[in-house]
Structure formats: structure tokens, C-alpha cells
Structure 1
Amino acid sequence: MNIALIAHDKKKQDIIEFVKRNEEAFSKHKLYATGTTGKLLMEATKLTINRKKSGPLGGDQEIGSMVANGKLDLIIFFRDPLTAQAHEPDITALLRLCDLYEVPLATNKQSAELFLEHIKLN
């Protein structure tokens, strides 16, 4: 599967811990991430991650383009619902594209756990 990993600043530690805990499962898939999230994940794990630009610099749009072109199977996006994001329109567009193209989207640890359990079973 092609999986994108994204996290807002206040959620980066959460996604690092989640990916480290599930590194073996993620190692079997092609991974993509926005810039800073990808850099931090590669520093914390042995995973190879194809990095896009940082979210505010167009990374969310790059991931959205992959969704629109059928190049992603799953997105794990740990969002911070309590902090305003300067690039909120880009985030909203990405969420809309996931709905439009029916790409599964986990926006918190519990939904990501459910998706990952499904992946591990298949």
C-alpha cells in the first residue's frame, strides 16, 4: 500500500510514537509524508519515507494531488483540532479530496490503530 503520514506540530510526537510502535507493519508499505513529519520519522525509525514539502509550503497540496491521481491508499493525519493553522484551506482541500476519491483517512490515534489492524490482517 501507499500510505501518507502527516502531523501538525503539536501532534508530531504522537505520530512518531505511533509509527515507532508499528514500524514493522509500516516497513512493508511505501510511505510518504509532508516534509518535517517525514524528516522526524526517518530520524526516529529505520523507515524510508518519500518526503514532500512541509505542509504550509505546499506539502498538503502535494499529498492531495497524489489522492486525486489515485496514488495513495491510506492517509494517517494526526490533526491538532485546537490550534488554528495558517494553511487551513489546504488541509480542508485534502480532507475533501479524501472524501471525493474515497481514500481512507485516519485523523487520530484510535482511527489509525483500526486501519493499521486491518492492514496487519491482510
Structure 2
Amino acid sequence: MNIVLIADTRKYDLLVNFCIAYRQILAKHHLISLFNISRTIHENTDLMVETLTTDMSASIEQLAAKAHYNEIDAVVYLRDPLLRTYDTPNSLLKACDVNSIPLATNVATAEILILAVDRGDLDWRELIR
């Protein structure tokens, strides 16, 4: 499965801790993230993470395009509700909705999502690609 792991700046540590906790599951999948967080995840977990090297907004657009082509199977996007742009839907969120790609925006739903991936609940996504 192709799993996106991203977070708003204030949620980086939470995402890294999530990756540490679920390292054994995440290691079985192709992971995608942004440059800064990708490096931090790798340094703390030894997980191999495909890195998008553009800025945040360009990377979101790039991920949205991948979602539209069903090249992404699940997204963990730990969002910061205190950001002014929190209520503004972005193209990645819309692409996930349009293409029925599971999206977790907090650590509780991220845990449910990653355990579902491990159980095989999302194996149907492989058929779409």
C-alpha cells in the first residue's frame, strides 16, 4: 500500500511518535512524506520514506494529483486546528473524498486506519491500481 504521512509543523513530533509506535506495520508499505518530516521519520525509525522535495503547498498539490490517479491508498495528515487555514479545505482532502481514499486527520483515526491496513481491510485499493 502507498501511505502518505504528513503533518502540520506543530504536529511533527506526534507523527514521528506514531511512526515509532507502528513501525512494524509501516515497514511493510511504501511511505510518502515531505522533505523535513520524511528525514525526521527516517532518523527516528529507520523506515524508508519516499520524499517530496517541494514546499508544503506544492507537495499537497502533487499528492492530490497522485490521489486523483489512485496512486495513494491511505493518508495520515495530522492537522493543527489552531492554524488560520485549518477550515480551508485543500486539494488533497478533496481528492481523498472524491476517490474514496481513507484519510486520518488526528492520531486516534490514524491508529484505526493503520490497524485496518494491517488487517487487510483496505486490500481492495490494490484492485483500483
TM over 0.5: yes
Q: Which amino acid aligns with 1:82?
A: L
5+ residue gaps, structure 1, are: none
Q: Which amino acid aligns with 1:116?
A: I
**Would the aligned equivalents of 1:60 and 1:91 in 2 still touch at CA under 8 Å?**
no
5+ residue gaps, structure 2, are: 121-129
The answer to whether residue 35 in structure 2 is matched with residue 35 in structure 1 is: yes
CA deviations over 1:43-76 (Å, ceiling 9, x no partner):
1111110011355351111111110111000000
Give the structure 2 partner of residue 107 of structure 1: 105
Q: Which amino acid aligns with 1:2?
A: N
Aligned residues: 120
| Percentage of identical aligned residues | 25
CA deviations over 1:70-100 (Å, ceiling 9, x no partner):
1000000000011225xx7x96111111101
Q: Counterpart of 2:80 in 1: which secondary structure?
A: coil
Alignment of 1:1-122 (within 5 A): 1-85=1-85, 92-122=90-120
Q: CA distance change for structure 1 residues 55 and 109 in 2, over 3 Å: closer, same or farther? A: farther
CA distance in 1, matches of 2:108, 2:114: 10
CA distance in 2, matches of 1:91, 1:61: 12
Query: CA offset at residue 120 of structure 1?
Result: 2.0
Provide runs of 4+ in structure 1 moved above 4 Å: none
Q: Give the TM-score taking structure 1 as reference length.
A: 0.90
**Would the aligned equivalents of 1:12 and 1:37 in 2 still touch at CA under 8 Å?**
yes
Cα RMSD (Å):
1.9
